Amino acid sequence: MAGFAVQPVDLTGITIAAVAEFGLSRKDAARAKNMFALGLLSWMYGRPTEPTVAFLKKKFAKVPAILGANIAAFRAGWNYGETTETFVVQYEIKPAVMPTGTYRNITGNLALSYGLVAASVRAGVPLFLGSYPITPASDILHELSKHKGFGVTTLQAEDEIAGIGAAIGASFAGQLGVTTTSGPGIALKSEAIGLAVMTELPLVVVNVQRGGPSTGLPTKTEQADLLQAMYGRNGEAPVPIIAPQSPGDCFAAALEAARIAITYRTPVFLLSDGYLANGSEPWAIPTIDDLPVIEPGFATGPNKDGEFLPYLRDEATLARPWAPPGVAGLEHRIGGLEKADVTGNISYDPVNHDHMVRLRAAKVQRIADSLPPLQVDDPSGQAKVLVIGWGSTYGPIGAACRRVRRAGNHVAQVHLRHLNPFPNDLGEILQGYDKVLVPEMNLGQLSRLLRAEFLVDAQGYNHVYGLPLKAAELAEAIGILVGEAEGREVDLGEHGLNLPADHETSPEEAPVR
């Protein structure tokens, strides 16, 4: 523990003494030590005590002894910090500047679940989840099972393959099919995802990434499944890929994944990860009218010369009709074998196969036309270095860039939600900077894609510790690259590694001594 001032606290002993008046056994009394720790942290970070006390009164209203013990332990912890003078630093975190609205605390898995329900409501189609429990995605299954009132059906299947098979069947029947899993489950689902590509049915495939390979680190975070999502199927089977950047953003990302799946009749990967799934943040509750309307565009009858052609495509999206079974006149062939263009009949013709492969790829690329321009964070406009990321690295990258700027340097940041297809303006943005840094919790998967697609010398900053990237260490790497780009030595001073690597100071945070 060199470099750290360790302050031992006898949590159990002090807690037992603090709650002695309530007559609890030593074992039950010791259980209140978490409240002592919470009280100490509340003092250390200047947090109000009233909400915690109100919560305890509500939770333990029917057990007065437990209620009294928890409140006593909580206040003992606060008083310990206030009176012992052991802790020389107290932090006061000012309220964040946020838009007005109604907020709630939300985790990534909960936000993702709500986003899927919202997408179902805005599309006017029932939601079906076919899933098999797997860490860290299981909470989505647990949450969606509570929402039958919104027309949600959940199936806990016997295995991963059955889960996605049921979801594809639901999509064929006119519902929003969803399957949730982690990396090992994606490996098992790969053939079925190819089936959804071939049949061109809407399907949302949620991958809450964790450490791998194989069963790897089930409770640790990683974002190493990007190339698996991009290429992990036999044949030419392109699939759109969406990645949320924060726990609350999982809601919007789920809506976007459903929009693309329904509009373009394609399976869509939604790449969350363990850090987002279990992390939480304040989330502004949107109004229904603020959410996009998703038009399912079901086929209702013949679409050309009195005949129904199941692979006649929309000119704008290249999507084929969505024709659920049971509607007279919409009968058509479906399955994993190659389709003849327009008619959907089984075809082994080589020219037709080449044509259909290119059509499916062009349909995915057409999605880029519906994407908004990327937002580049380059306050000075003088940056020569661009830091680009995806997924949960958004927080560490943003914090690292702010550190570099506070030291008087220039750096730009852009974060990708859409990883396939890339936004139309991404190539131009990349070409506008001398150096590009790609921080990832893998060994360089996005940087490989950027180099291949845009021929830029994207450099990776890669850790696979099963932990989020550290802003201070990343700031040092950015500073070195800025120095190389500008031909000078960059000293971040107190804004860089002179702070402990796991310490993060926001512009609103200031120590009070």
Q: Tell me the pLDDT tens digit for each residue of 380-401.
A: 999 999 999 999 999 999 999 9
Confidence at residue 513, expressed as pLDDT on a 0 to 100 scale: 27
Confidence at residue 1, expressed as pLDDT on a 0 to 100 scale: 59
| CA–CA distances in Å: residue 212 to residues 178, 299, 345, 444 | 23, 42, 41, 15
Q: In the block, which residue shows the tokens 């800025």?
A: 482
Residue pair 351/357 in contact (Cβ under 8 Å)? The answer is no
Distance CA 133, CA 159 (A): 9
Where are the extended beta strands (E) located within 295-398?
385-390
Q: Does domain 385-512 match CATH 3.40.50.920?
A: yes
Residue pair 187/140 in contact (Cβ under 8 Å)? The answer is no
Confidence at residue 6, expressed as pLDDT on a 0 to 100 scale: 83
> Where does the chain hold its CATH 3.40.50.920 domain(s)?
385-512
Comparing CA positions, the residue from 379, 412, 401 lying closest to residue 477 is 401
Confidence at residue 5, expressed as pLDDT on a 0 to 100 scale: 80
Comparing CA positions, the residue from 457, 481, 464, 354 lying closest to residue 409 is 481
Confidence at residue 155, expressed as pLDDT on a 0 to 100 scale: 98
> How much is the pTM?
0.88
Percent of the chain with pLDDT over 90: 90
Positions of the chain with pLDDT under 70: 1-2, 494-513
**Nearest-10 crossing angle of helices 11-18, 33-44:** 100
Confidence at residue 457, expressed as pLDDT on a 0 to 100 scale: 94
Rounding to the nearest 10 degrees, give the CA dihedral for residues 27, 28, 30, 36: 180
Distance of CA 254 to the CA centre of its chain: 9
Distance CA 271, CA 305 (A): 42
- What kind of fold does domain 104-290 have according to CATH? Rossmann fold (3.40.50)
Confidence at residue 501, expressed as pLDDT on a 0 to 100 scale: 37
Confidence at residue 498, expressed as pLDDT on a 0 to 100 scale: 43
| Assigned token pair, 422 | 């890339």
